[in-house]
Amino acid sequence: MHPSATRILSDALVLSPIERAELIDELLRSFDPPEDAAVADAWKAEAESRIDAYEAGQVSADSAEAVFARLNQR
């Protein structure tokens, strides 16, 4: 690994898990072609709305185990 990449990795490892996840997300996005800002904003708003609804108890969610069990039954 290039020395500057090693330094960046070392700096990144002291970040909180959420900050590291956000950094990873941005790095992965750098491989994708530019996206339509309006579409990206709409998806962001939708995701935040769903999280808010879940946290407010307006929707429920199944565990990953339950979802995979249903899929394995098919």
pLDDT digits (tens, 9 = 90+) for 4-14: 999 999 999 99
> Residues 29-74: pLDDT tens digits?
899 887 788 998 999 999 999 999 999 999 999 999 999 999 999 8
**How far, in whole angstroms, is CA 27 from its chain's centroid?**
12
Contact assessment for residue 48 and residue 42, using Cβ atoms and an 8 Å cutoff:
no
Q: What contacts 12, CB < 8 A, 6 or more positions away?
A: 20, 23
For the segment 10-26, the average pLDDT, to the nearest whole number, is: 96
Q: How far apart are CA 28 and CA 52, in angstroms?
A: 25
Residue 59 structural domain: 3-73
Predicted pLDDT at 44: 95
Q: How far apart are CA 56 and CA 61, in angstroms?
A: 12
Q: How far apart are CA 25 and CA 17, in angstroms?
A: 12
* Maximal CA-CA distance, the chain: 49
Number of domains observed in the structure of the chain? 1
